[in-house]
Amino acid sequence: MCGRFALKATEEELRNVFGYLGDAPGTEGMPPRFNIAPTQPIATIRQAHGARRFALVRWGLVPGWVKDPSAFSLLINARAETVAEKPSFRGAIRHRRCLVPASGYYEWHRPSDGSKQPWYIRPRDGKLVALAGLWEEWCDPDGGEIETGALLTVAANASLAPIHHRMPAVIAPEDFDTWLDVGGTSVKEALALLRPAPDGFFEAVPVSQRVNSARDDDEALTDQVAVQETSAAAHAQPTRQAKPAGRDAGQLDLF
């Protein structure tokens, strides 16, 4: 699964890469994020009215049919192999597909000794990557609306499988329009785009255990450390406090 990721890009860089039109609320003075966690807002690009549009959604999908979100386990990932069959996702894969910009993501390797070692996995070329996502809209009885989202995952490629058996699905730039065109692209065609990134597309580095805390959000989290030194690094690295993730985090609190 993918439970944390980073996005260190300006609004101008996002617009240049993803080609969306209109306003991008919440991105004014946008600082980099190095430890985006579930329940926090995430940047997405969707297609609406014939053009790509930017939107912030809360990470952790809540299907529209859920009566009480507080009693529902948020869905941060959806498996590509079963997404079209699961009641929680089959409406979104047909009608509400999106792209999720990222600079890299974190994964935890769990060796047989029971320990957990975090790794930061980033595109080898240093560019932004588009993760495949879904979004949903939930309405409360009083008419309030909240948009939520999830990341799609696939089997890991050979180079990343030693760390974890799953990885986020990556949408190539030439496939952006096909993926986002929910009116013209069938579910079968969309699912065909959900495949592991090629071996060598990503590089992975071991990082500090500090990433385990969603309150830590600074660039040092992505720095490579020696595996045997990660426990000590958790106490040695400087910390910048971010707003803690919470179930009621508002959409405009991402930055």
2 noted as active-site residue: yes
Which of 2, 98, 136, 147 is flagged as catalytic?
A: 2
d(C-alpha 127, C-alpha 162), whole Å: 24
Q: DSSP 3-state assignment of 108?
A: strand
Element (H, E) at 241: none
Question: Residue 200: which of 158, 168, 161, 231 has the closest Cα?
Answer: 158
Element (H, E) at 121: strand 117-123
How many distinct helices (H) and strands (E) make up the chain?
5, 12
φ/ψ region of 184 (left if φ > 0, alpha if ψ in -120 to 50, else beta) reads alpha
90: tokens are 């089959």
| 232 Cβ contact list (under 8 Å, min separation 6) | none
**In one letter, which amino acid is 190?**
A
Question: Residue 59: which of 159, 149, 180 has the closest Cα?
Answer: 149
Q: Which residues pair with 43 in a beta bridge?
A: 56
d(C-alpha 100, C-alpha 225), whole Å: 27
Element (H, E) at 192: none
Which of 98, 107, 136, 147 is flagged as catalytic?
A: 107
Residues with catalytic function? 2, 107
